[in-house]
Chain A
Amino acid sequence: MNISSEISSTTIPSWHRIRMIEHPVLRYGLMVLTLVYILWSLGTLDISWHRISTGSPRAINMFARMIPPDFSRWALLVKGVLESIQMALAASFFGMLLSIPLGLCGASNIVPKPVYLVARTLIVLSRTFHEIIIAIFFVKIFGFGPLAGVLTLIVASTSFISKMIAEDIENLPPGHLEAIRATGASFPKLLIYCISPRVLPRYLGVSIYRLDANIRHSTVVGIVGAGGIGQVLAATFSRYDYDFSLTILMTIVALVFLGEFFSSWVRGYLR
């Protein structure tokens, strides 16, 4: 009997890297499937390879026209950026206000079922559609300009913050609610003494995060005519005004960076 081979196969298990998916058939099967998918989907997409091969000189041309960035129209830039920031601030403010009732109504442990369902449907509906789709409708109803943009951002912020509030309230330990209710507290007192102390820190954190997200989104709703720096940016692209586009893009990056910095600073302070 061949002992050495038996030892090597039983007592010394070969070591291998920990795999994400241990089963080899499943692992390689998924890889093959992914590859097949990539090939199939690329085949069905209407991609003109000729157009792409001419893309690189175009890209170089575009970059050449972008540099140096044009800061001569800074007045227009400042106006657009300021409008974006104001849109973001106004939208965050109204979003914070409106999300309180909507968030409360979306928490199944404090409101009756029908109210809960209506609130949740509203939240899901406005979360499913991209801001730009919502913006198009507001532009149709309220005309071009920052009003449509502000309303879009309000809808987006409200659904985002109220979803967080609702989930937070649902995650409250039932004992806390019961303890306050046992003192004979009315619903407003329940809100002030039980729910708000537990939910407030995260509510503020999420709102600040949303302010930062609104600044990012306010730069883009302008593409469909809803005001802000995005409107200026879209115009420069359609006029091949690439050197000013680069200026705007750089400003947006700086603005978002500052917004994120501010947001993380405030959230650190709140914690």
Chain B
Amino acid sequence: MTVTEHAKKHPEVWRRFSPRQTLIRYAWYLAIVAVATWSISNLDLPWFYFLDAHIQAMDLVTRMWPPDVSFWETLAAPLLETIHIATLGTIFTFFIAFPVAFLAARNTTFNTVTWFVGRLILVTSRSVNTVVWGLFFVAIFGPGPLAGIWAIAFRSIGFMGKLVAEAIEEIDEGVVEAIEATGASRLQVLWYGILPQVMPVIYGTSVYRWDINIRESTVLGFVGAGGIGILLYSSINQFLWREVSLILLSVFGVVMISEFLSASIRQKIS
């Protein structure tokens, strides 16, 4: 058998996957599609709503254009309030997330119980959405920006605490040991050994969270927790679509600026 005959009989085509791998892959695809189908069919979606959706959407767009620029005067104060809510909420988080992160990091916590408590605080804080925290604090403090500030702070604790705790767990233990060897107390070890190592992470995550919080605080008003959301909600409910479009434009501007600021500050820190 010549080489060409052999090649004709056993064509060796290069394939990325073995047949077994391919089979497993298709099984996964099938499973994913099955889960999606199950979900969609159970949701009982009214598909006929799609029939006139484009008409509704076009209607909305024509009503929204052009933006009502004179509304700007009413808009400015709540917009500033939104920024204040996000910033103050982040500043408060900065101080609260700190001790919680030390509880939730394995190498700085006191014992298993305190570690578990720290983790529980972080998980609870993260699982409950900012707006749900908003509902909660509006019930306590009444409607207004204070409820919003607490909502922002309570949601951010979990986010910042988790990242800072991870940073604490990854510090250079040699530094800590060196400071312990000088006879430093627990607090001094923390102050001189651990803090300087995690400070950049703390500032970085705060700034990162701040820009997320700006986005979150734009909707806190829907549950009465202050900011531009109150105005947006009332304009939508009164069908003042040209005001709505100006609000959306301003929200877009603020979020873009904050994202840009946050990115450039973080670049400087790291």
Contact = CB atoms under 8 A, between A and B. Distances in A.
Given A137-B60, A253-B124, A128 B256 contact: yes
A227 B256 CA distance: 29
A164 interface: no
B128 A90 contact: no
Contacts of A146: 43-45
The prevalent SS among residues of A at the interface is helix
The prevalent SS among residues of B at the interface is helix
B91 A249 contact: no
B35 A128 contact: no
A233 B45 contact: no
Contacts of B223: 223, 234
A41 B88 contact: yes
A133 B38 CA distance: 28
A23 to B, nearest CB: 14
Interface stretch (A45-53, A70-78, A103-111): A45-53
A179 B136 CA distance: 57
B255 interface: yes
A157 B60 CA distance: 24
Contacts of B219: 130, 132-133
A142 interface: yes
B145 interface: yes
B57 A141 contact: yes
A216 B46 CA distance: 24
Chain B contact patch, size range: 35 or more
A128 B214 CA distance: 10
A257 B127 CA distance: 7
Interface string B50-73: 100100110010000000000000
B139 A20 contact: no
A180 to B, nearest CB: 13
B30 interface: no
Contacts of A41: 84, 87-88
Contacts of A62: 139-140
Contacts of B146: 45, 47, 52
Nearest to B135: A237
Interface of A: 17-20, 34, 37-38, 41-42, 44-48, 51-52, 55, 58-59, 62, 82-83, 85-87, 89-90, 93-94, 124-125, 128-130, 132-133, 136-137, 140-143, 145-147, 150, 193, 197, 216-217, 219-220, 223-224, 227, 230, 233-234, 237, 242, 249, 252-253, 255-257, 260
Given A41-B87, A125-B252, A143-B46, 7 more contacts: A38-B91, A45-B85, A48-B144, A51-B142, A129-B255, A142-B46, A146-B43
10 contacts: A45-B144, A48-B142, A89-B35, A89-B36, A129-B255, A130-B215, A137-B60, A219-B132, A220-B132, A234-B135
